Chain A
Amino acid sequence: MIGPVMIGPSSSHTAGACRIGQVARQLLGQTPAHAEIGLHASFAKTGKGHGTHQAIVAGLLGYAPDDARLPQSFEQAASAELSFNFETVDLGDVHPNSARLTVSGSGQSVTVIGSSTGGGVIEIIRVDGFKVGFSGGAFTLLTRYSDAVGVIAKVAGLLAADQVNIAALTCDRDKRGGAALLCIELDQTLGEAAQHFLLSWPEMDWVRMVQPVMDAGIVAPVLLGTTA
């Protein structure tokens, strides 16, 4: 509410857009080599005047919304060998400030749909087509796995063993026994060793830990290192 500290001119079209980029980068696990960026409704219509394009690219480069390099992110992207393409898309009945980012690199690719709902607050609503719902305000664990009895219980057990508390949990699958995606918001981060262990399970094919890109409570906690 008081914050983020940010580069102007718009908390939803600049800061929020940047954060959607930050989440996409983390889901890929590296700086993308290429990004296909689809802008929906108000993002498409007034994005240009709000630095939305530069902000999303800045987020993909790992810059926070208060990073002074944000206005020059296109130049920075060139030297980081990140290529990108913008288009206007219709994502249907979603918030008018929404974007679809397909980011790729090192043979991997992930597609994220996120909405910027005001004041720099975001909500990620789809990852690779699966329904999710996380704000980037907490540590968020995402895993893609084969739908089977007991997988979620095993993941929850691993978290409990690591003394990591679950704040919110959603899961979605394409069909019974098919590909599924689990999204868990956590009060603490899950250690790298536990992440590797998760990935070693035969039913798991993808694990990502998204660090917070957003404020918790009424101000950005210095605690989490998110100064923006």
Chain B
Amino acid sequence: MTLDEILNAPSPASQWVLESDCQASGLTPEIVKEAMRSRIAEMRDSVERGLASAAPSITGMVGWNAKGLWDAPDMLQAPLLKRVQAYAMAVNEENARMGRIVAAPTAGSAGTIPGALLGVADHLKISDDDLVMPMVLAAGVGKAISKQMFISGAAGGCQAEIGSSAAMAAAAVTELLGGSSRACVHAAAMALMNTIGLVCDPVGGYVEVPCVSRNAFFAVHAVSSAQLALSNLESFIPPDEVISAMAQVGRMMPLELRETAEGGLAQTPTGLAVTARMESK
């Protein structure tokens, strides 16, 4: 499955993704949709747990961000923005507490899709049943990306993880709001091209800082991409070429910036202090 194939599929793109995946796996569309429905319910559950809890993570670096934002007054009067950010961080704070979440496509990037897709759906009062097919499309976009590129931070840097989740979320939100197959794929491509180069420098090696806030930022990034694509803006570089470019940058990225905690934020004095404190535990 390539982004070009999805782009050229009849709209809605998710239908083609579903049919071609079922052909490959031998599963029926009903089974895949049912599995997707249960994934959405799991995502919602993790959002709710995360918004309600201020319990600290493994290291104590995060744990109260989602609830803190959710309970705070909306100074910008931008309820969609706040909802998307809070949902995304809720999932990643649950993840950082070793709670139960849905990897999408990875655990470190698990908040992006629930943040963007559930956030937009709740804002517009769209039911979870209507999210099943957009979620199928998100999975198809992720599959297309993973065919050309490793999606782990260790192999490709943060761009590979959060770039993938943002691209998947962007396509899903675009389809949810009636975007064509072409618009969905261009939303994904724009999300990806604007994530190229992002390094993976987790403090202490933990999936906490910057991962939790990063999911808030890239859930918004996905919604921005959908906004542009729904207005018929497109990526100048063809979508599959964008993936190749990101894969190339990933290969050029030094090992220190690929989840090893040997560069960037992880090597700041404060970052090193966290590493030392956790090692002495």
Contacts and interface: CB of A to CB of B under 8 A. Distances in A.
B76 interface: no
A216 B100 contact: no
A1 interface: yes
A45 B275 CA distance: 12
B39 A1 contact: no
A48 interface: yes
B37 to A, nearest CB: 10
Contacts of B262: 45
Given A1-B139, A118-B150, A6 B100 contact: yes
A119 B106 contact: yes
B13 interface: no
A46 B261 contact: yes
Contacts of B99: 7-8
B263 interface: no
Interface in B115-161: 135-136, 138-140, 142-143, 146, 150-155, 160-161
A162 interface: no
Contacts of B143: 1, 218
B27 A223 contact: yes
B142 A217 contact: no
B63 interface: no
Given A8-B97, A50-B205, A97 B107 contact: no
Given A3-B104, A49-B204, A221-B35, A8 B96 contact: yes
A220 interface: yes
A88 interface: no
Contacts of B105: 1-2, 11, 118-119
Interface string B89-107: 0000011111111111111
Interface residues of A, number: 43
B107 A118 contact: no
Interface string A150-165: 0000000000000000
Contacts, number: 178
A49 B103 contact: no
B12 interface: no
Given A46-B261, A117-B150, A9 B39 contact: no
A51 interface: yes
Most buried by A among B105, B113, B260: B105
B71 interface: no
Interface string A1-42: 111111111111011000000000000000000000000011
A120 interface: yes
Most buried by A among B36, B103, B258: B103
A96 interface: yes
Nearest to B138: A2
A9 B96 contact: yes
B34 A222 contact: yes
A7 B108 CA distance: 12
B106 A118 contact: yes
A95 interface: yes
A218 B154 contact: no
B58 interface: yes
Contact of A1 (B26, B34, B104): B104
27 contacts: A1-B142, A2-B39, A2-B113, A2-B139, A2-B142, A3-B39, A4-B102, A6-B107, A7-B99, A8-B99, A8-B110, A8-B207, A9-B58, A10-B107, A11-B107, A12-B152, A15-B107, A45-B260, A46-B260, A49-B207, A66-B100, A118-B106, A118-B154, A119-B103, A119-B151, A221-B25, A221-B32
The 9 closest A-B pairs by CB, nearest first: A217-B25, A118-B152, A46-B205, A8-B95, A1-B142, A1-B139, A49-B205, A218-B139, A11-B103
